[in-house]
Structure 1
Amino acid sequence: MTTSPATPLPPDTLPTGLLIAGDSAKSASGSTHQHIYPANGRPNATVEMAGATDIDRAVRSAAEAQREWISYTPERRRDLMIDLADAVRADTELLGRLNVHDFAVPILMSPGHAALAEKYIRYYAGHIDKANGSSTPVSDKFDINLIEREPYGVVGVIAPWNGPLVVIGLGVAAALAAGNAVVLKPSEYAPFTPLRFGQLCLDAGMPPGLVNVVPSGPEGGEALVRHPGIGKIHFTGGGHTAHTILAAAAHNLTPVSTELGGKSANLVFADADLDSAAQLAAFQGPLGQSGQSCACGSRILVQNSIYDRFMEKFLAMVNAAPIGDPFDPQILVGPVISQAATDRILHTIDRARTEGMGELVTGGRRLGGELAAGYYLEPTVFTDVDNRSPLAREETFGPVVSIMRFDDEDQAIALANDTTYGLNAFIQTRDLTRAHGVARRLAAGSVWINRNSDLSPQSPYGGYKHSGTGRAGGLEGLHEFQQVKNIRIAMP
């Protein structure tokens, strides 16, 4: 296309049909969803919504394609995945713009999601012809004892609206490399990039049906989880939905891996580089994706001796962040996803003010003027927050952060760990001994020291406690999509 990267796509070019067995299709039930663009509150497109009949067709198509996929030599599967990575790279500009249409992530960051997906696809392609099992001796026998890893068959990947391309990299790429076919169920709030990705799979030469893309809401999600043809479910999203999925999966005892929410602590010690620490806390907190990230460092813990200096720098960065049209490449902060999210976040802010959970020092309002039609909220900061309050304990999933003080390492660690979540933690310090020691005492699946949560294909990602089970990324992520078989051969 000749359209500028900072220009919205024409509505009639947005992909809206279900992608099943290589074809774009309408929903068998006639169900559709009017997608609203968060930046202006107006309809983007009408998207087909998968029901139980569509899910069944997608699973059956995937099962047939998986049999073909696993019959290919490892070298052929590897090369096809490399071709897919090349296709994603060539399509980065379009994927980036579709990502903005999906959930209004600023174009400044949006193409990075496509680049990350490409990295994961390329990484997992490299594992296909290197995957191996093992052999161990058996006590008192001369038997051959083999431990093999095999695919589940058809995997259901349920992606969230706030990062579908990232989950495609973390989940879909690993599932394909492990030998599975995938039924990808994106949220109805972010269907466009997943549907485009499904087309890229076909363009790269993968078997039709190997990756089916079926946007849907709760009905389609339940049908997918309950389908007897699904070997495993990988879910990224919130805890409430995870409970529903786990209950539905119990019907067929389908295994489920989850990457759930977070209430991540960011520990800023007195010896930290305060300019860097303030910048990281601002972006990893209320600014990046408007706080709509499971990795959001929404609890910022600051050592008393540098509290005032840190807050001066931190608030200056938060208040200076450009907010507005996500297609403007100068914009850092876009809107939240919907009117319902806007109402929920404002209710959280009002409740915190009314019940005295902390002191509101900046933000707390919906933006008006030329942004009034969109779902824009001011980046919001509460100080002196009680760590036992709902403001500090419940995931806000918006541009709202809580600031707390601490005196020493033990107090900081106690505050950080006093939560039901455990996805990420952040440490700002120039003391290497402290960095290692504190990281090992934090109950979190990932600890980021002097940096943001920059995912890499080589590293496993996942949570402790209520933040999920299993891992995505790295060799651990590949193994999530494989089941172990033991083969023992008697020797004369």
Structure 2
Amino acid sequence: MTNASRHNLFIDGIWTVPSSSEWITVQNPATGETVAHVARGNAQDVDRAVDAAQRAFPAWSRKTAVERADYLLNLNRLIERDKEHLAAVVTSEMGKPLKEARVEIEFAVGLIRFAAENTRRLQGEIVPGSTADEKILIDRVPHGVVAGIAAWNFPFALCARKIAPAIAAGNTIVIKPRELTPLAGLELGRLVAEAGIPKGVVNIVTGAGPDVGVPLVAHPQTKLITMTGSTPAGKKIMAAAAEHLKEVRLELGGKAPFIVMEDADVEKAASAAVEARFMNAGQVCTSNERTYVHEAVYDAFLAKVSTKIAALKVGDPTAPDTDIGPKVSLAERDKVHAMVERAVAQGAKLETGGHALAGGDYDKGFYYAPTLLTDVRQDMDIAHDEVFGPVLSVIKVTDFDQALTYANDCRYGLSAYLFTRDLGRIMRMTRELEFGEVYVNRGGGEAPQGYHHGYGESGLGGEDGQHGLEAYVQTKTIYLNA
């Protein structure tokens, strides 16, 4: 063990030593240095956390909507107070540039604010009864104990995205951050305690998926599973939840098409394409994964994109002018490189990048050069498999019909982009493009009041907005007679 700090589990409002007495090392992907050691939780710790959440549920669910909202607003004030520290924690464990980490913290604040402001909008219904003296009430009530599993690419915001609506709706929650990036979630636990949120309402158990995630999902007292992560992991969670017929909400992988038609603002489209691909080193489920460009503007678009990629600065994520930090781990970097090599072997042209960065400070971290691939064909693996890295693949199309066909030729259905001035095409897109979230003539980035959801292997259900909040309640029908 090094002198790096140790972090216990957050259970029942108390920082608790893990039952295993074992620890997981958290590494800074930019430097390779050990940032901290976090508790290696196990099934026994999950039992303790779920029991605490179950005990806290009756009192918490009986609090008024305004009372629950006030707790969340208190939490937000603390996040805003500590936002620079929180952003630095995200950068240290995940590697994203500090300027992007600040945006993540602000996004989390927006998510929590929306949940707080809308606790009183979880409304029921009254419908006519079967007799003159009967009313049928359809109430909305919390599920109970929610199990949350967060991904590593937005370690603070994704924990907030699950905690805020869950407890706003009157549930309690046990959340598992990804073991690569657990520190931001634990920092959120620290602020939960300081905000005075009652013990047991929020519990955070760190550890590996088999040790914590599996028993959490399978626990008979967890009633709703909400998970953000990979599609293979989501399928395993859905199978594990089937034994108790739990409700499952899954936000999984993506393969966003980015369509640029001949009437598009090419400069605007090129800027958005680069931002949507290289933000967070491409480690975003809504990233521009495949760029379809009309042949009439293909050369102009490619020239602009090439210039913008060349201007990107890769390096120390704490530097204010850094655009791209490292990949989150060596395994993730190697996975991206293997996909690029496969694409080139299948006939893609490597315009720039296509290699790990080496020399100087690059040797300490998991850096990958911003990469541009052209001559990509629809039948290549890279047009169908999620890259999740700083690799822009460009495919030429002849018309809008071909662009739609190629875009829908995908097992994922999370996000998509369309750049055109033609209202007819936009209207066709609303009918024919098979994705849950579409950005028209703008870059990516969902809003707290929107609804972030996908089709196909991108998951079930969704997050954010009123629709996302309502996922954290269930209906109860009451046939009311005097």
TM-score range, shorter chain: over 0.9
Select the residue among 417, 423, 427 that pairs with 1:432: 423
Q: Output the amino acid matched with 1:260.
A: L
Instruction: Work out the CA distance in 2 between the residues paired with 1:236 and 1:312.
Output: 36
- Residues 369 and 132 from structure 1, CA distance in 2 versus in 1: closer, same or farther, beyond 3 angstroms? same
Residue matched to 1:487: 478
Residue matched to 2:227: 235
**TM-aligned CA deviation for residue 129 of structure 1:** 2.8
Give secondary structure in 2 for the equivalent of 1:458: coil
Instruction: Work out the CA distance in 1 between the residues paired with 2:267 and 2:327.
Output: 27
* Counterpart check, 1:175 vs 2:162: no
Select the residue among 286, 289, 292 that pairs with 1:301: 292
Provide Cα deviations, 1:76-96, integer angstroms capped at 9, x if missing partner. Answer: 212111111111111111110
* Counterpart check, 1:469 vs 2:448: no
Residue matched to 2:353: 363
* Counterpart check, 1:261 vs 2:273: no
Q: Output the amino acid matched with 1:242.
A: G
Provide Cα deviations, 1:173-227, integer angstroms capped at 9, x if missing partner. Answer: 1111111011110001111111011111111110012111111112210010011
* Counterpart check, 1:276 vs 2:242: no
**TM-aligned CA deviation for residue 42 of structure 1:** 2.2
- CA contact 2:112–2:164 (8 Å) conserved in 1: yes
Gaps of 5+ in 2: none
**TM-aligned CA deviation for residue 139 of structure 1:** 4.5
Alignment of 1:172-211 (within 5 A): 172-211=163-202
* Counterpart check, 1:59 vs 2:25: no
Residue matched to 1:245: 237
Instruction: Point out the more displaced range, 48-57 or 380-389.
Output: 380-389
Residue matched to 1:35: 26
Residue matched to 2:301: 310
Residue matched to 1:99: 90
Instruction: Work out the CA distance in 2 between the residues paired with 1:165 and 1:270.
Output: 39
* Counterpart check, 1:75 vs 2:66: yes
Alignment of 1:127-146 (within 5 A): 127-139=118-130, 142-146=133-137
- Residues 15 and 147 from structure 1, CA distance in 2 versus in 1: closer, same or farther, beyond 3 angstroms? farther
Provide Cα deviations, 1:329-388, integer angstroms capped at 9, x if missing partner. Answer: 1101011011111221111111222232x2111110000112122100011121121212
Give secondary structure in 1 for the equivalent of 2:445: coil
**TM-aligned CA deviation for residue 148 of structure 1:** 0.6
**TM-aligned CA deviation for residue 11 of structure 1:** 7.4
Instruction: Work out the CA distance in 2 between the residues paired with 1:282 and 1:467.
Output: 23
Instruction: Work out the CA distance in 1 between the residues paired with 2:246 and 2:41.
Output: 21
Gaps of 5+ in 1: 1-9
- Residues 157 and 11 from structure 1, CA distance in 2 versus in 1: closer, same or farther, beyond 3 angstroms? farther
- CA contact 2:144–2:222 (8 Å) conserved in 1: yes
Q: TM-score, normalization: structure 1?
A: 0.94
Provide Cα deviations, 1:427-457, integer angstroms capped at 9, x if missing partner. Answer: 1123334333324321001000121222211
**TM-aligned CA deviation for residue 141 of structure 1:** 5.1
**TM-aligned CA deviation for residue 120 of structure 1:** 1.2
Instruction: Work out the CA distance in 2 between the residues paired with 1:132 and 1:473.
Output: 17
- CA contact 1:11–1:44 (8 Å) conserved in 2: no
Q: Output the amino acid matched with 1:302.
A: V
Instruction: Work out the CA distance in 2 between the residues paired with 1:139 and 1:488.
Output: 9
- CA contact 1:148–1:484 (8 Å) conserved in 2: yes
Instruction: Work out the CA distance in 2 between the residues paired with 1:77 and 1:255.
Output: 23
Give secondary structure in 2 for the equivalent of 1:54: helix
Alignment of 1:322-361 (within 5 A): 322-356=313-347, 358-361=348-351
Instruction: Work out the CA distance in 1 between the residues paired with 2:249 and 2:423.
Output: 34
Q: Output the amino acid matched with 1:364.
A: G
Give secondary structure in 2 for the equivalent of 1:425: strand
Give secondary structure in 1 for the equivalent of 2:291: strand
**TM-aligned CA deviation for residue 421 of structure 1:** 0.5
Give secondary structure in 2 for the equivalent of 1:486: strand
Provide Cα deviations, 1:392-443, integer angstroms capped at 9, x if missing partner. Answer: 1011111122211111111111111110010000011233343333243210
- CA contact 1:417–1:443 (8 Å) conserved in 2: yes
**TM-aligned CA deviation for residue 167 of structure 1:** 1.6
**TM-aligned CA deviation for residue 303 of structure 1:** 0.4
Residue matched to 2:14: 23
Instruction: Work out the CA distance in 2 between the residues paired with 1:471 and 1:174.
Output: 12
- Residues 432 and 145 from structure 1, CA distance in 2 versus in 1: closer, same or farther, beyond 3 angstroms? same
Q: Output the amino acid matched with 1:359.
A: K
Alignment of 1:410-421 (within 5 A): 410-421=401-412
Provide Cα deviations, 1:279-298, integer angstroms capped at 9, x if missing partner. Answer: 1101101x111111111111
**TM-aligned CA deviation for residue 153 of structure 1:** 0.8
Instruction: Work out the CA distance in 1 between the residues paired with 2:102 and 2:18.
Output: 30
Instruction: Work out the CA distance in 1 between the residues paired with 2:437 and 2:160.
Output: 18
Instruction: Point out the more displaced range, 196-205 or 23-32.
Output: 23-32
Q: 1 or 2, which has the higher strand percentage?
A: 2
Task: Name the Cα RMSD after superposition.
Answer: 1.5
Instruction: Work out the CA distance in 2 between the residues paired with 1:302 and 1:37.
Output: 37
Instruction: Work out the CA distance in 2 between the residues paired with 1:297 and 1:214.
Output: 33
Instruction: Point out the more displaced range, 450-459 or 14-23.
Output: 14-23
**TM-aligned CA deviation for residue 31 of structure 1:** 2.7
**TM-aligned CA deviation for residue 29 of structure 1:** 1.1
Instruction: Point out the more displaced range, 100-109 or 247-256.
Output: 247-256
Instruction: Work out the CA distance in 2 between the residues paired with 1:424 and 1:390.
Output: 19
Q: TM-score, normalization: structure 2?
A: 0.96
Instruction: Work out the CA distance in 2 between the residues paired with 1:116 and 1:436.
Output: 30
Q: Output the amino acid matched with 2:435.
A: A
Name the % identity. 35
* Counterpart check, 1:384 vs 2:404: no
- Residues 11 and 434 from structure 1, CA distance in 2 versus in 1: closer, same or farther, beyond 3 angstroms? farther
Instruction: Work out the CA distance in 1 between the residues paired with 2:53 and 2:163.
Output: 13
**TM-aligned CA deviation for residue 487 of structure 1:** 0.4
Give secondary structure in 1 for the equivalent of 2:60: helix
**TM-aligned CA deviation for residue 268 of structure 1:** 0.6
- CA contact 2:178–2:206 (8 Å) conserved in 1: yes
Instruction: Work out the CA distance in 2 between the residues paired with 1:128 and 1:354.
Output: 53
Provide Cα deviations, 1:220-242, integer angstroms capped at 9, x if missing partner. Answer: 10010011110111010001111
- CA contact 2:6–2:39 (8 Å) conserved in 1: no
**TM-aligned CA deviation for residue 73 of structure 1:** 2.5
